[in-house]
Structure 1
Amino acid sequence: MDFEKAKQLLQDLPRLKGIEIDLKGREHVTEEESAVLKQLTPTIANVELAINSIRDLEIREIMKYRFINMHPRWAAIRKWGRMTERSVDRKVEEGTEAVAGTLKLLGIL
């Protein structure tokens, strides 16, 4: 259950970051937009903290590349070309488990 929630947060992260960047870049925001920004900012920060706390350097770099830097799966597979697609996917799965553990520890999940 926690793994699925963490997976969904990671999948949503690029979209959430895009919304956050757009709202922060606006000169005038409505009350509703301000409320959304207040909700998004800590969520994004907690997911990024969870990714940055992954102990395995290779997994952390793949997770940062995919979810913080917002690159698609195929780009990660191409960048880590020495690995098979399944290996990259396995690293992302391990990273997602680590993210879920950290978010659970923080009380987010």
Structure 2
Amino acid sequence: MEWFPEATAAEAQAVRNLLRRYPVMRRTVSALSQLPNLTEKQNDVQQTYQLKIRNIELAVNLIMDEEVKNMIEYRFIKGHPRKAAVNRFRLITDRSVDRKIREGISSIANTLKLMGEI
């Protein structure tokens, strides 16, 4: 019996896709906030993206392992490609970087599932 249900593989993949879109969502919110008058659709997009951004940032901050958190922030929040992440964390193997990123995505997926985001 589980207190809180864990995220499935499909939900983890959805979170990975959401994390990949994170930099675009941030830029979109920033660009929309510069406009003086927003249409109804622009306002809806801005509010939806702001909520998703806040939830993602909260879930990332709740990752317990600092090394995993740093990798997730570097790879997805700052928007660097996998190759750059492997180079930055070169003291460990590329497979270990991938494993730790999967752990971080799993943690984020569990948090977002608990909050009802996914």
TM-score (norm 1): 0.92
Q: TM-score, normalised to structure 2's length? A: 0.85
Equivalent position amino acid for 2:36 in 1: E
AA aligned to 2:31 is D
Mapped to 1, the partners of 2:93 and 2:30 lie a distance apart of 34
Do structure 1's residue 9 and structure 2's residue 25 form an aligned pair? no
Aligned with residue 104 of structure 1, among 71, 88, 113: 113
Counterparts of 2:93 and 2:37, CA distance in 1 = 47
Q: 1:1-109, aligned counterparts within 5 Å?
A: 1-109=10-118
Deviation at 1:28, TM superposition (A): 3.1
In structure 1, the gaps of 5 or more residues are none
Q: Percent identity?
A: 37
1:26-51 Cα offsets, whole Å, 9 max, x none, are: 23322211111011100111011111
Would you say how many aligned residue pairs link Structure 1 and Structure 2? 109
Q: Which has the larger radius of gyration?
A: 2
Question: Displacement, 1:91?
Answer: 0.9
User: Partner of 1:83: helix, strand, or coil?
Assistant: coil
Segments of structure 2 that go 5 or more residues without pairing to the other structure are 1-9
For the residue of structure 1 that corresponds to 2:24, the secondary structure is helix
In the TM superposition, residue 105 of structure 1 has moved relative to its aligned partner by 0.7
